Amino acid sequence: MYIPKNLMLTDPLAIENLISEYGFGLLISQDLETTRLPLLYNAKEGDKGTVIGHMARANPQWRNLSGQRVSVVFSGPHSYISPTWYVSRPGVSTWNYASVQCFGTFQELNKEDTVNAIDALIQKYEPEIAHNKTLMPTDYIEKLLKAVIGFKVVVDEIQAKEKLGQQKKTEDQLGVYEALRHSVHSESRQLAEYMKKRGLGDGSK
């Protein structure tokens, strides 16, 4: 990923939070096959953390990935930025965003670890159904397990970027932030919320 130094995100906790909030990632293999997947990042496992998930066994992407280096992209909040929002002139339109790319080695999980990976996803997104045997009886889960492959990516490199207009003049940052905050588009408001939380591009610095 191209990352100018002034846009580089290096804070481990901020990276972890970004992945946690925007965990629908893109798994990319060396042959450029891709799969969109809900994923979890465990910052405490290994030197740079691990990414866990599962995919359909019918998906051919996983078959030759064991031991191979892959990358996973997590796209955070993003939005179009109009030059009319700047006080300064001249100006051009752009797109602001936050993104993380993890690189690491793909490992296939055994059945027990696959179950744990799926349980962890359920605990994150809908914990109240985790032990609902009426909704998800054991025999049904066993059947579904045969149709998926669990995996872990042992991360060895993380690249993260926050292009939030933080290099702009304070008055231009404020113009962009206020426009995003009052936008009719939810993704624009999400970006404004992220900027405020991070204290970047919102005119506070």
Q: Range of 83's domain?
A: 5-198
Q: Does residue 135 fall inside a structural domain?
A: yes
Q: Does residue 167 fall inside a structural domain?
A: yes
Q: Does residue 203 fall inside a structural domain?
A: no
Give me the CATH number covering residue 70. Answer: 2.30.110.10
Residue 26's φ and ψ, nearest 5 degrees, are -120, 115
Q: Does residue 175 fall inside a structural domain?
A: yes
Q: Does residue 153 fall inside a structural domain?
A: yes
Cα–Cα distances in Å, from 2 out to 5, 7, 162? 10, 10, 11
Q: Does residue 46 fall inside a structural domain?
A: yes
Q: Is the pLDDT of residue 181 over 90?
A: yes
Q: Does residue 145 fall inside a structural domain?
A: yes
21 token code pair = 């909030």
Give tens-digit pLDDT for 54-104: 999 999 999 999 999 999 999 999 999 999 999 999 999 999 999 999 999
Mean pLDDT taken over the chain? 96
Give tens-digit pLDDT for 119-140: 999 999 999 998 888 888 888 8
How many structural domains compose the chain?
Answer: 1
- Average pLDDT on 167-193 reads 98
Cβ atoms of 109 and 151 within 8 Å: the answer is yes
DSSP per-residue codes, 70-93 = EEEEEEEEEEEE-GGG-SSSS---
Residue 131's pLDDT is 85
Q: Does residue 140 fall inside a structural domain?
A: yes
Q: Is the pLDDT of residue 184 over 90?
A: yes
